[in-house]
Structure 1
Amino acid sequence: MNKTLVLASGFTFDYENLLGDGKVTTGDVAALAGRIAAAHRAVEHMRATGEVRGHLSKDGEPEKVLFSQLPYIEEGHLNSPVSIRKLQEFGQSLRNRVDAVVSFGIGGSFLGNKVLFDVHSGDFWNYKSREARDGYPKLFFSGQNIDARRTTELIDLLIKEAGVKARHEQGKPYRVTLIVISKSGSTLDTMSTFMVAYDKLKKQPGLEVEVVAVTDPATGEKATLLKKLATEQGWPTFRVPDGVGGRFSIFSEVGLVTAACIGMDIEAFLAGARAMDEVCRTGDIWQNPAMLNAVLKYVAAETYGRDIEVFMPYGDYLKSVAEWYVQLLAESLGKRTDREENVVFYGRTPIVAVGTTDMHAQTQQHQDGKKDKVVQFVKVQDWENDPVIPNVFPSAAKLAEISSLHLSQALDAAREANAEALIHDGRFNATFVLPSVTAYHLGELLYMLALSVAYEGELANVDAFDQPGVEAYKRILGPKLKARKK
């Protein structure tokens, strides 16, 4: 049996080290045939209607689940031709006019946006000249933690850059756009850091501040605190849509606003997600990568005790994908009760790792620790830039041995060695292969993972779209904040 699923785009799910003798078996999968078919019907029903059995909002009201609509740019959809054009026009309005953007958000409003920034822009975007950035502004993140030192240092940096521009460009103002992302407008982490930055920067001579709010679009009596502020202050707004949890919001205006700020191809990103969604409409598990991934990981956890998933991309700029996946898996599937209110304490624990970095840190635990893990690798097939290792020191035999290899060849050899060592000791692993690091293939990967948790929620009979455990600490936090003001 061929244990690789290759899509027309070249995206590949290699599950050789996850299915077979001593691993999840075809018999295990066959035994779940009825539940797998039911899960597929439930996901198809979600796609068609937005309805998920038993799903309620945090307020206890029926709530549709609409993330599967997002890849389709159509009139009446959350992403429409008008909304995409508005995003693109916003991005163009920043070019050669705004010096820096600061994005304030937490949870999916940070993690998804950071993925898009890292994959498109990389670590050194803010060090590049405006010309090298094609006129797009520098971009910084804040609000993902209530950190006094980092918040202060970011403000100081922007003020310093404003001073440098004033000296070198005949007093021209330094323009900063603050993008504040909060559905309610009362998110502590986001709003506290935003208000500190807004206040300090507004008072700084030679520095002009613009604000864009990404929030619930409701108006009138239903308007959120942030929506009311935006209306009062005249700030432009984008939407945090109903029916899309934060961990899925990367495909909505919440994430796409960052893509617009850096000139990322929004339509290609959504096209990749759309292509993956279309492939996953089949009920044939062996041809549906999201369903296959969900089933194999579910069986590995429930039958073989592999309830930790180490998500390990081989590439620095894909680390944030693993960090985004931590939220996706943890919030979607970490549930105390099933749909019938039986206590089940379900969930697989996600861990971030990066190859080859964590081969020198975590792999000792993966290889010799408890057999409670599935290691999920991500491989890039073709790199845009791929230097050859030169034979700089021919007298050093060990170094000469690796000369003439491309860096990607050395990277992939390390991944293969890791995978083989693990499976030789009965340690489950699998590999997603991206043909290249593009907006399209990123859309494929992220959407497949999002759809996978929908399937696994059905298999486990838990609501993959609520997060009651998060609300527990929030109920405690409010009184604690009030007590500190006394």
Structure 2
Amino acid sequence: MDRQSAIVTLPSGFSFDYSNLYGQGFVTQADVIAIAARINAAHKAIEHMRATGEIRGHLSKDGTPEKVLFSQLPYVEEGRLNSPASIARLKEFGQSLRHKVDAVLSFGIGGSYLGNKVLFDVHCGEFWNSKSSEERQGYPKLYFSGNNIDPRRTMELVEQIKAEAQSVMLIVISKSGSTLDTMSTFMVVYDALKQAAPDIVLQVVAVTDLATGAQETLLHKLAGEQGWPMFSVPEGVGGRFSVFSEVGLVTAACIGFDIDGFLAGARAMDEACKTEDIWHNPAMLNAVLKYLAAANYGRDIEVFMPYADYLKSVAEWYVQLLAESLGKRTDRSGREVLYGRTPVVAVGTTDMHAQTQQHQDGKRDKIVQFVKVAEWASDPVIPDAFPAAAALSDIAGLQLSQALEAARKANAAALSGDGRFNAAFVLPEMNDFHLGELLYLLALSVAYEGELADVDAFNQPGVEAYKRLLGPMLKKCRR
């Protein structure tokens, strides 16, 4: 780490620049020293989690002890959640779709959607479904549904698929099989496309809890009865951490995403974060500085602001990760603490024009977390298309990335100049490996921060409150 400029850089080139989050006017060395014992305890707790899957006080929603196993996922080994055989099966599944399936529709919500959308956006971009089969190397078009109960879009998707596809695969992702949003839209689309036979050949794959016997889920039972192939929603991995499991990797397989590179990036980040030296452990450092910014300086809103259109879904994924992991009413002793930062999605220059007025002049209650891509695969130069227009001619000759980075640096400088906390993650390039590093760092950071705040980062009791009300309301609607 370069202590002078407050940057921690990994061997891959991935870096965390916290220059505008730590030092004079921000979180101080004295702040960090004051909680040194808690930082050390947090590190030991996460080391224990890695070794055993145990997190102090963590219970499942039915009140029984539950292991936390997401830190296993980067390691492809026999006996792990991701084994050589399971990864090989995913790859074989992806290959089986090439030149045979026209469109895949993925049904899921929360962690069964958000992480999958990240992989799709980074690998495929906005125009994947408009490309020819040859341009997609034979991989199918891919659409998402089940992430909101929207009657109009659901039926428009059905009509779109009827018009363009002859061979369709539905991937339904639900641990229980009773997820309202996912299963209701899945059944509508399944029924509509089934009625379109023989014009459409329809296949279904289920991603669910594979437990059998008394623990068998509704979707597992249904898939068995219907003869649908199945992939696993693993025990001990909450939805918001599941992008590294078959829940996310099944989407990766459908589009030719580099599963090995993605998991290698997550693995490299995990190895880097095993050190107890906070200044060389980016996940723990990120957690400590943001915890202190909130606890000591009232910065309890986090604006996650990538400077890349195709990383917007990372910000949306992070909203769930941060909100569900750290938004907790009580600490582990049952004391009401009402903990957690409110996450906000922002994107580059788009939201410099839409949100920065509030970031710069509003309440001093925010941390702005930038994400920068250092090198772009394609980086056009702005031409001098209108030399008579001096204001336009002045920006000619710049690469688009130069203009983008100048805007980001100006935003960061303006914020820090007014005592507004901000930091930056820097990806050397936008690829599968560095995406794995980034997502895993964020997942591990909330685990560390849960320990610092003494809250359970792996449960979500607040979600159960509306579910208890929803069931009776649905029954009333049927009556």
Structures share fold, TM-score greater than 0.5: yes
Q: After superposition, give the CA deviation of every residue in 1:128-149 in whole Å (9 maximum; x if it has no partner).
A: 0000000000000000000000
- Residue identity opposite 2:48 in structure 1: H
Give the whole-Å Cα distance in 2 for the aligned partners of 1:353 and 1:325: 11
Name 1:328's counterpart in structure 2. 321
Q: Secondary structure at the residue paired with 1:356?
A: helix
| CA displacement, residues 348-379 of structure 1 (integer Å, 9 cap, x when unaligned) | 11000000100000000000000000000000
Instruction: Kindly provide the amino acid, as one letter, of the partner of residue 385 in structure 1.
Output: S
1:171 paired residue number = none
The equivalent of 1:308 in structure 2 is 301
Confirm or deny that 1:61 pairs with 2:53. Answer: no
Aligned to 2:11: 8
Match of 2:192 among 200, 209, 218: 200
Write the distance in 2 (CA, Å) between the matches of 1:148 and 1:275: 43
Question: How many angstroms apart in 2 are the aligned matches of 1:129 and 1:413?
Answer: 36
Shift of residue 221, structure 1, vs aligned partner: 2.7
Matched, 1:153 2:156: yes
Write out the 4+ residue segments of structure 1 that deviate beyond 4 Å after TM superposition.
none
1:138 aligned residue: 141
Q: Of 397, 403, 406, which residue of structure 2 is paired with 1:410?
A: 403
Point out where structure 1 has 5 or more consecutive residues left out of the alignment.
Answer: 163-173
Tell me the secondary structure at the aligned position of residue 429 of structure 1. Answer: strand
Matched, 1:185 2:177: yes
Alpha-carbon distance, 1:473 to partner = 0.5
Q: Distance in 1 between matches of 2:398 and 2:369?
A: 25
Match of 1:246 in 2: 239
2:78 maps to 1:75: yes
Aligned match of 1:97: 100
Other-structure match for 1:167: none
SS at match of 1:402: coil
* Cα displacement string for residues 384-413 of structure 1 (whole angstroms, at most 9, x for unaligned residues): 000000000001111011111000000000
2:352 corresponds, among 343, 359, 372, to 359
Post-superposition offset of 1:219:
1.5
Query: Structure 2, unaligned stretches of length 5 or more?
Result: none
Q: Deviations over 1:73-109 (max 9, x none)?
A: 0001000000000100000000000000000000000
Of residues 115, 118, 133, the one that matches 2:118 is 115
The residue type paired with residue 322 of structure 1 is A
Q: TM-score, normalised by structure 1?
A: 0.97
The reply on whether 1:484 has 2:477 as its aligned counterpart is yes
Output one character per residue of 1:180-202: Cα deviation in whole Å (capped at 9) or x when no partner: 00000000000000000000000
Return the alpha-carbon distance in structure 2 between the equivalents of residues 303 and 330 of structure 1. Answer: 20
Give CA deviations for 1:299-336 in whole Å, capped at 9, x if unaligned: 00000000100000000000000000000000000000
Secondary structure of 1:24 counterpart: coil
1:125 partner letter: W
Q: Deviations over 1:420-441 (max 9, x none)?
A: 0000000000000000001000
**1:223 CA drift (Å):** 1.1
RMSD between aligned residues: 0.5
- Find the aligned partners of 1:235 and 1:425 in 2 and give their Cα distance: 58
TM-superposed CA distance for 1:220, in Å, is: 2.5
For 2:356 and 2:246, locate their aligned partners in 1 and report how far apart those are by CA, in whole Å: 38
Could you tell me how far 1:160 is from its partner in structure 2?
Answer: 1.3
Paired residues, what number?
Answer: 475
1:435 equivalent among 403, 428, 446: 428
Cα distance in structure 2, aligned partners of 1:458 and 1:445 = 21
2:349 and 2:73 mapped to 1: Cα distance?
Answer: 34
Question: Partners in 2 of 1:243 and 1:267 — Cα distance?
Answer: 22
